[in-house]
Amino acid sequence: MESKLNDIRKQLQEDGYKLTPQREATVKILLENKDHLSAEDIYMLVKDKAPDIGLATVYRTLELLSELRIVHKLNFGDGLARYELTKDDEEHHHHHLVCLDCGKLEEFEDDLLGDIEEKIEKTKKFNIIDHRLSFFGYCSECNEKGQASKKKTNI
């Protein structure tokens, strides 16, 4: 964790920012939690480590980290932004499976969009730097409870 924290400190410095105690507390929460946390979730966890931090500070920190591509800001169609740290070895962002019944989020690591990206870049002369893909459906647990018979819905 300390190595990743130092990498983030260095990246912030290169971009003209400091790793303030509030930013460090926020980053540590993201490092300690592999879940896709909302700003409010992060705030509640950060408050334990830095009781004087405000929700607005957490939001500003997450927006800065998102702009610098240190974190990914995710939206799964439920009106709630969630955040996760960018992985060092990621050329592209991984994908997500979202259960429409229980809300479970599962990561899907295979990146099968390389050929499509290449075609878009060639035909549209569009320089792709990242993409995001989410699949919406029902997890295995909800399928076992009879959710599989639900009709597909437009999201």
Which residue ranges make up the annotated binding site for Zn(2+)?
Answer: 99, 102, 139, 142
d(CA 112, CA 99): 21
How far apart are alpha carbons 24 and 46 in whole angstroms? Answer: 10
Tokens linked to 14: 């290169």
Residues 82, 104 contacting (CB under 8 angstroms):
no
Task: State the binding site for Fe cation.
Answer: 93, 131
Contact 92, 33 (CB under 8 A): no
Burial of 113 (0-12, 13-18, 19+ CB in 10 A): middle
Q: Which residues carry a binding-site annotation?
A: 93, 99, 102, 131, 139, 142
